[in-house]
Amino acid sequence: MKIATWNVNSIRIRLEQVINWLQENPVDVLCLQETKVVDIDFPKSAFESLGYHLYQSGQKAYNGVAILSRIPLTEVSSGFTPVLGTEDEALILDQQKRVITGVMAGIRIINLYVPNGASVGSEKYVYKLQWLKRLREYIGLLLQKQPAELVVCGDFNIALEDRDIHDPEGKANHIMASEPEREALRAILNLGLTDAFRKFTADAGHFSWWDYRAGSFRRNLGWRIDHLYLTPELYKRAIACTIDSTPRKLPKPSDHAPVIVEL
DNA sequence: ATGGCTTCAGAATGAAGA
C-alpha cells in the first residue's frame, strides 16, 4: 500500500499536474494540503474518474486539506472539535481548515496542514505553537481509539533537524527551525510516532520544499518539512519512503514535492 | 534580501505563504 502527501498550493491551478502524477503514481491514498478552495468548487470529478473517493475540508483562498483514497474511508472527520470537543479554543482553531482524518484498511490517516507561523515571535508564530499543542492532545486521544495504527502526514512547516535544511547555519531563530517549534513537534512524536523517511535515508540534502525565489530548486536550496509519521507497527511494515521531486521541475509547479511511503 | 515568486481576492503602496 502506498500513501502520499503533497502540498499542491491550489488544487485548481495544479489540477492537471496532480492528475498526471496520479496516473504515473497510482497511490492508494493521496493527502493534499493548501487546496485553497471551498468544497463546492473542488474539481472532484477529475479524481473520481481516476477511481478515487474524495474527502475534503476547504475554505476560500487559504489552507484547505483533502484526502483522495481508492478505498472508501470510514470515520471521516475534519478539524479538532470532533475529537477535542467544542470548547472555545478548538472552535477558534477550526476556523482554519487544516485537519482531516479517516480510516482505511485498519489504518487511521491524519492529514495536516500545520500553520506557517510567519516569523519567530509574531502573532502567527504564537498561533502555530498553540495549534501544535492542541494537535498533540488530538493525536493522543485518537491513539486511545481503534484503530490505533496511525499515519500522521502533511505539511508540518517544521524541519526537525539540521540535516533537513540546506543551510542550517544561523537558523535557530528562523521560522520552521526554531527550538520551540521543534520541541512542540518532538512532544507529538513522543506519543509514539516515527519519521518514515529517516528509516531509509540518513544523509542530508533531501528536501520537500524549495522557495519559488532565487532559483532555489535549481540550486537544491530546500527544506524537508513534509512528513509521514508512523506508529510502531506501521513503521516496522514500511518498505520505502521517497520524495518525488519530478513535479517540482515542471513549469508552474507547487513549491512542495510529494512524499510517498510504501507499507 | 524586512522579500528575490506564486496564489487568491478584488481593485492595494495587498495578504499570505515559508
pLDDT at residue A256, rounded to an integer? 98
Closest protein residue to B9 (Cα–C1'): A61
The nucleotide lying nearest A9 (C-alpha to C1') is: B7
CA/C1' separation A211–B1 (Å): 14
Give residue-wise pLDDT tens across range A15-41: 999 999 999 999 999 999 999 999 999
Q: Does domain A2-262 have CATH number 3.60.10.10?
A: yes
A218 CB-to-strand B distance under 7 Å: no
Give residue-wise pLDDT tens across range A30-79: 999 999 999 999 999 999 999 999 999 999 999 999 999 999 999 999 99
Confidence of residue A193 (pLDDT cuts 50, 70, 90): very high
Confidence of residue A234 (pLDDT cuts 50, 70, 90): very high
The nucleotide lying nearest A252 (C-alpha to C1') is: B6
pLDDT at residue A119, rounded to an integer? 95
Cell triple for A202: 540518513
CA/C1' separation A213–B5 (Å): 5
- Mean per-residue pLDDT of chain A: 97
CA/C1' separation A236–B10 (Å): 51
pTM higher than the cut 0.75? yes
Q: Which residues of A151-182 are buried (b: 16+ CB within 10 A; e: fewer)?
A: bbbbbbbbbbeeebbbebeeeeeebbbbeebe
Angle value at C-alpha A7, between A157 and A143, nearest 5 degrees:
65
- Structural domain boundaries of chain A? 2-262
A181 CB-to-strand B distance under 7 Å: no
CA/C1' separation A146–B7 (Å): 39
Q: Which nucleotides of B are covered by protein (CB under 7 A)?
A: 1, 3-9, 16-18
CA/C1' separation A156–B17 (Å): 13
Task: Indicate the DSSP class of residue A151.
Answer: E
Task: Indicate the DSSP class of residue A72.
Answer: P
pLDDT at residue A196, rounded to an integer? 98
- Cα torsion angle, A95, A99, A104, A108, sign: negative
Closest protein residue to B2 (Cα–C1'): A119
Pick from A111, A86, A76, A101: which is nearest to A4 by CA? A111
Mean pLDDT confidence for A222-235: 98
pLDDT at residue A92, rounded to an integer? 96
pLDDT at residue A69, rounded to an integer? 98
